[in-house]
Structure 1
């Protein structure tokens, strides 16, 4: 193929979301995550110093120090950022208090206004301690640091849900009960396969180019992944829509403020022009998911079925007849429009914290034709695998237990302690005897003398035999550390981490088969005999 044959098939794409393509470095105007600890992260929109009213730029203040945005922009993801010395009390470029005082005295009215001077960016000095790691945003990191408006669906839950729903790139997902948007970010990453708003390049507008026309046709017929998210609470829906737009996900996510119990899942304000999501998967995080199931059917359910769904779960499911009238709860005066994909089987998951909710949901699913109903409770445990180093040679070193590993080490340490104590008390007794001899000699008027003629020889000889002190042991351990391979030492162990964030809710899964018509039956008989 010639080099010019496929250049017309290129398309201009919107700026890719940082959740899809974070790049290799952080940039101004984009989201960055500061990781203080494993479970403590701070999200921030990075801004350059020229965009800030402060000479040093905006600053993120944490328990580990201050971090100006100028030290965060342009850094490779995963870099350890050292804290800076920042005067957060007087770092403004102009003093508002002085300006206000001048206006009160009448001086400001007589002085001409001067043009603001261009200020120079002040480079903050590095502090003596404190650091964070700069990591790119992802659904996992965003779940740990997002602003909580409701309870959050954590990573262990939504990863299992998306796997059971068999979500693939190009699928459409309905999410009801968006809340804080944790599942929304994970779902849009799972279904993303391109931008529907891509436009052909200017150099690809030649008429009669077969490759170009085929590319345009293929582009229009391609099914792009989308998430249709519904939230009943209007302020929460508006905040989530602002976050989705800020994160560059607006092309793939549609946020709708609606009561899905009454109005269903079709998108749009006009009943005649509503758009069907053609959903391949459904996730309901609602207080009463069984009340929304009447809108997740391929044909309008009968009034008897709707009555049974809204009734108590202990009531037996009625026998559904084909000639039953449509349910009044769905407003039979308007044409029914299914929100599900008519060409494929649809999978659903409901998220409920109580078993009573599960009972009513399962009863409603059975009445509406859902199959393969299954309930799962996720009990996640994270196991930490590491090497445990125990021994007196680990004294003063991090990540080790500086206690006796064997009886021999314990006995030797006791001997050292007792030896130092014995020598110490011996020196104290010798010193006391020397003082008594000198006092007795002064009484007799005789000059005191030592047996050896030098009173420093005996203490020095004893000092050479003293066992090593704690300071000596620490210095020796640090020196020996240079020649040790710590990754090979110790005993390999594993233990459970109890601080893993997850829910203890019940997940109900089910499958709704595609609708099988008489035409499908005839085609199948003709093809397969």
Structure 2
């Protein structure tokens, strides 16, 4: 199987994502003869094998249905078994963009952890790039290596069990970018600098505490890095809802009252001048005549606007209840979910 999307149909032994809902998914390795229980009923693996990814499959007894999705780094991130705290798609997207990764790039990562970021990095540099990932914990390194092999990524990822802070990366003039997720990333910056290519490159450090960020920024400057920038990524979600609003009373004749009052004064003055020019007789009541003419024009214009808006509002709803307007709106949640974590980026320009 592969996380890179080269397959169209499910084969035995593949890892698939069983979609039960936006808040409920299940990673499943398909094996002939096995059955998996879901909240919508039992699902036989034989029903999944041979199906095209994205297919809708009914559970036994017709109690419900599920969708079979191709595993992607994004889906794996929200379904993987946690061995450590992980990075989620919001941060991962910023990291890949800011490190300027592309097919053919070489990336160094420390530490591997649960492999959430590793899957996305591998996809970003595929098919000709490579990811060298370092994990000091022996069991986690072995588990990650097996996982990458099962997911068809072993040709893109090399796992090494090594303490990058103490022992370094053991490579020079290799990487286009380096990512550090370490307790004291400033201690590994000299090794990261050595691993970057002679032409230079980008570096990113993830730290949960601002004190770690401060030490890292100072050491980046001391090591000759430029463009040091720290970001905090917070996800803001909105709910889309359908609401009904009452139609206000059609008192359009009072609309823009002050503006029309100002216009009336100007119009009366202009009308007076016109009457005086056209009438050679008695002009004693010229202001009264001008005012009456202007008021008639305003009433005529207001009537047209009222009839237009009444027609417009009458077409809003075709049902019997025309006292409300149905519309869609977005509402922001009371709390903005987030995490304590900072991404520090910098660039090394070689001379």
TM-score by length of 2: 0.73
Cα pair 2:234 2:337 within 8 Å, conserved: no
Q: 2:307 aligned with 1:509, yes or no? A: no
Cα distance in 2, alignment partners of residues 251 and 157 from structure 1: 25
Instruction: Report SS of the residue matched to 1:35.
Output: strand
TM-score by length of 1: 0.49
Cα distance in 2, alignment partners of residues 499 and 179 from structure 1: 29
Cα pair 2:2 2:153 within 8 Å, conserved: no
Cα distance in 1, alignment partners of residues 175 and 30 from structure 2: 36
Instruction: Report SS of the residue matched to 1:292.
Output: helix
Displacement of 1:265 = 0.9
Cα distance in 2, alignment partners of residues 176 and 262 from structure 1: 12
The match for 1:357 among 200, 212, 220 is: 212
Q: 2:242 aligned with 1:388, yes or no? A: yes
| Superposition CA RMSD, Å | 2.2
Cα pair 1:165 1:281 within 8 Å, conserved: yes
Match of 2:54 in 1: 78
Instruction: Report SS of the residue matched to 1:36.
Output: strand
The match for 1:168 among 102, 114, 132 is: 102
Displacement of 1:62 = 2.0
Cα distance in 1, alignment partners of residues 192 and 30 from structure 2: 42
Cα pair 2:19 2:67 within 8 Å, conserved: yes
Match of 1:478 in 2: none
Cα distance in 1, alignment partners of residues 342 and 38 from structure 2: 37
The match for 2:186 among 290, 294, 307 is: 290
Instruction: Report SS of the residue matched to 2:49.
Output: coil
Cα distance in 1, alignment partners of residues 334 and 62 from structure 2: 34
Match of 1:236 in 2: 140
Cα distance in 2, alignment partners of residues 71 and 38 from structure 1: 22
Cα distance in 2, alignment partners of residues 68 and 502 from structure 1: 38
Displacement of 1:381 = 1.3
Trace 1:35-434 onto structure 2 (pairs within 5 A): 35-48=19-32, 57-84=33-60, 127-193=61-127, 224-266=128-170, 276=172, 278-297=174-193, 338-342=194-198, 344-385=199-240, 388=242, 390=244
Larger radius of gyration: 1
Instruction: Report SS of the residue matched to 2:190.
Output: helix
The match for 2:327 among 487, 491, 515 is: 491
> Residues 232 and 510 of structure 1: is their aligned pair in 2 closer, same or farther, counting only changes over 3 Å?
same
Instruction: Report SS of the residue matched to 2:182.
Output: coil
Cα distance in 2, alignment partners of residues 500 and 79 from structure 1: 34
Cα distance in 2, alignment partners of residues 22 and 292 from structure 1: 37
Cα pair 1:382 1:497 within 8 Å, conserved: yes
496-505 or 128-137: bigger deviation: 496-505
Q: 2:11 aligned with 1:24, yes or no? A: no
Cα pair 2:243 2:329 within 8 Å, conserved: no
> Residues 497 and 77 of structure 1: is their aligned pair in 2 closer, same or farther, counting only changes over 3 Å?
farther
| Structure showing the higher strand proportion among its residues | 2
Cα distance in 1, alignment partners of residues 205 and 192 from structure 2: 13
Cα distance in 2, alignment partners of residues 512 and 29 from structure 1: 44
Displacement of 1:225 = 0.3
Cα distance in 2, alignment partners of residues 490 and 134 from structure 1: 36
Instruction: Report SS of the residue matched to 1:243.
Output: helix
Displacement of 1:138 = 0.3
Unpaired runs of 5+ residues, structure 1, are 1-16, 49-56, 85-126, 194-223, 267-274, 298-337, 391-404, 408-482, 484-488, 517-529
Cα pair 1:154 1:502 within 8 Å, conserved: no
Match of 1:34 in 2: 18
Cα distance in 2, alignment partners of residues 179 and 491 from structure 1: 46
> Residues 38 and 71 of structure 1: is their aligned pair in 2 closer, same or farther, counting only changes over 3 Å?
same
Cα distance in 2, alignment partners of residues 354 and 19 from structure 1: 33
Unpaired runs of 5+ residues, structure 2, are 248-318, 320-324
Match of 2:265 in 1: none
Instruction: Report SS of the residue matched to 2:117.
Output: helix
Cα pair 1:381 1:498 within 8 Å, conserved: no
Cα distance in 1, alignment partners of residues 50 and 76 from structure 2: 21
Cα distance in 2, alignment partners of residues 499 and 73 from structure 1: 42
Query: Aligned pairs, how many?
Result: 275
Deviations 1:145-166 (A, max 9, x none): 0000011100010101110111
Instruction: Report SS of the residue matched to 1:145.
Output: coil
Cα pair 2:204 2:345 within 8 Å, conserved: yes
